[in-house]
Structure 1
């Protein structure tokens, strides 16, 4: 279900910046996966969603490092602290900072020699903050209504 939501909504909500197609929905789904399904299913979701977005032309090769590192860090932060906010922080650090730096080798591999990291990092940070904030709000609403505990048990 997370993959389907991600692929469909990522084709609608995109922040284009040259060859990069940053999708806040990917980050929203990553945080939800960190809380609901953990790192391994979250990792599978990130890889499958990135592959499908690449096939459908709604994503780029830059989706892989950001989404994979983001979901793993979000899951790790969440399981370490058991706090929703930490999952959102992990996603922003994992995708926005570490994932954008990991895109440098990807850019070289696909032949972008004049690749500039600062605009990419800015786009990834903005995109991951937007998605993480929305997922945080969704999770807090579920928690306040007592539904989050039911989903997690």
Structure 2
């Protein structure tokens, strides 16, 4: 059985909490609530924690936002697909940040947008087109991705989370 990395779990919990606290910062677009902070957090999770943690964080954040009334059921397919593709492209794309950014954008807007159609029509009773969520989800994830491009790039250069998570040799750490 794999041992759980307590630091990764703690960081995931903190990022979920940030997602919950910042969930009122959303833009209503049709039946969805576009939350750019969620997409920024998806990228943080995908880059620094990996695809599994990123998807878990997206699920827990979406669940808590729905329970608190600050989210919709559309948060599940949108955020989880974006987090998964972001983490996978970063992990298997030789740790290239542009791939992570593209994964969040494409995973949320196209894949999550299309998967939101049955959720909206069957569970929410909303009449929408098959590709009706692609543009609103793209707008939301684009805002979060722009935030991530600035902040994640800086964090990677400063090795903020690498030091915290113990991903560096002690000889590389600067005091």
- TM more than 0.5: yes
Q: Unaligned stretches of 5+ in structure 2?
A: 1-13, 168-175
Q: Which has the higher contact order (CA 8 A, sep 6+)?
A: 1
TM-score by length of 2: 0.81
> Partners in 1 of 2:67 and 2:159 — Cα distance?
39
2:22 partner SS:
helix
Tell me what 2:173 maps to: none
Distance 1:143 1:95, change over 3 A: same
Aligned length: 152
Question: 2:66 aligned with 1:66, yes or no?
Answer: no
Tell me what 1:138 maps to: 151
TM-score by length of 1: 0.91
Q: For 1:87-136, what per-residue CA distance to the aligned partner results, in whole angstroms no more than 9, with x for missing partners? A: 11100000011100001110122243521345521110011011012112
> Partners in 2 of 1:86 and 1:125 — Cα distance?
16
* Aligned residue among 25, 35, 38 for 2:47: 35
Question: 2:106 aligned with 1:93, yes or no?
Answer: yes
Which has the larger helix fraction?
Answer: 1
Tell me what 2:19 maps to: 6
Q: For 1:32-64, what per-residue CA distance to the aligned partner results, in whole angstroms no more than 9, with x for missing partners? A: 000111111111111110011101111100000
Q: Between Structure 1 and Structure 2, whose CA radius of gyration is higher?
A: 2
C-alpha contact 2:114 2:131 (8 A) present in aligned 1: no
**RMSD of aligned residue pairs (Cα, Å):** 1.6
